[in-house]
Structures are given as C-alpha cells and as structure tokens.
Amino acid sequence: MSSTPSEIIAAAKIVMVDDDLNTLGMLGAMLASFGVTDLTTASTAREAFHAIKKSPPDLVITDWRMPGEGGEQLLQVIRGQPKQAISTIPVLVVTGYADQEMLAAALKAGATRVLTKPVDPKEFYIRIARCLGVSADAMS
C-alpha cells in the first residue's frame, strides 16, 4: 500500500531557512497544519548548512535573498557535495523576488522548485509534495 501525499509530507524531515522570523513562523505554522513535526529552522544559510550536514533532511526550504550568504550560496554548497547524499536533497526556494532572471538563477543553481511570496498554503503544499516525489496523479 502506497502512502498518501499527506502522509509523505507529514513524515518528512525538513530544514527551513529565512532571515525573517515572521516568515519562518508563518511557514512553520503552515507546515504544522500539513502534519510536519520534524522541522529545523535556521536564520542564516550557514546555520542551515550545519543542520543539513549534521542530519540530512528530506527537504530544504530556503529564502533566496538573505543578508550575507543567501539561498543561492546555500544551493551551491549543497549541490557541491558530489559524493554525499546531501547533494541530491530537494530544495524549494521561497522568494519575494520572482523575476525571470531570479527564477533562472535559482533553477541553474539547483533549486528543485520555486515559490513566490506571499505564499499560498495550497501552492506551498503542492510544491512540497512535488519536491518529495509525489506525482501529479497522486495529487488529484
């Protein structure tokens, strides 16, 4: 028997990074409403990478633009670990800067999916499910 999208999301171990604590709280509340209980939050890319390296998650959710190192640098470090499992972790970029240039840069850097702010809960759920390998057919 296969798992439902809700079961897959609820069982996921997630690391989420954003320099805005309000955004972390809002997205964290959405994740909790999806049943996620294994969530590690970080306010810097460096802090997130340490959490990822210590205990690799099923999914990373990151802001794109943060002071200092941002989502692009975090993706470069994650994808730059060729002989380690963390290089293949799906990464969902959540950003308020969604012009075509930024979207292209995020995908080129290795983002699995991109979602723009303000975040719609239904779209957040769908993007997470797709990052975790749930097929479009399973979502309908």
140 belongs to a structural domain: no
Rounded distance, CA 123 to CA 72, Å?
Answer: 22
62 belongs to a structural domain: yes
129 belongs to a structural domain: yes
| pLDDT score, position 114 | 95
25 belongs to a structural domain: yes
Domains in the chain: how many in total?
Answer: 1
Contact 73, 45 (CB under 8 A): yes
Residue 58 banded pLDDT, cuts 50, 70, 90: very high
What's the mean pLDDT when you consider all of the chain?
Answer: 92
50 belongs to a structural domain: yes
| pLDDT score, position 54 | 94
| pLDDT score, position 98 | 75
CATH of the domain at 85: 3.40.50.2300
Residue environment code for 26-52, b if the CB has 16+ CB neighbours within 10 A, otherwise e: bbbebbeebebeebbbbbbbeebbebb
| pLDDT score, position 1 | 53
39 belongs to a structural domain: yes
Q: How many helices (H) and strands (E) would you count in the chain? A: 7, 5
101 belongs to a structural domain: yes
Rounded distance, CA 67 to CA 19, Å?
Answer: 8
77 belongs to a structural domain: yes
| pLDDT score, position 97 | 80
Which tens digits make up the pLDDT trace of 69-83?
989 999 999 999 877
| pLDDT score, position 81 | 82
Give the residue-averaged pLDDT of 15-23.
Answer: 96
Q: What is the model's pTM?
A: 0.94
Question: 116 by DSSP, 3-state: which?
Answer: strand
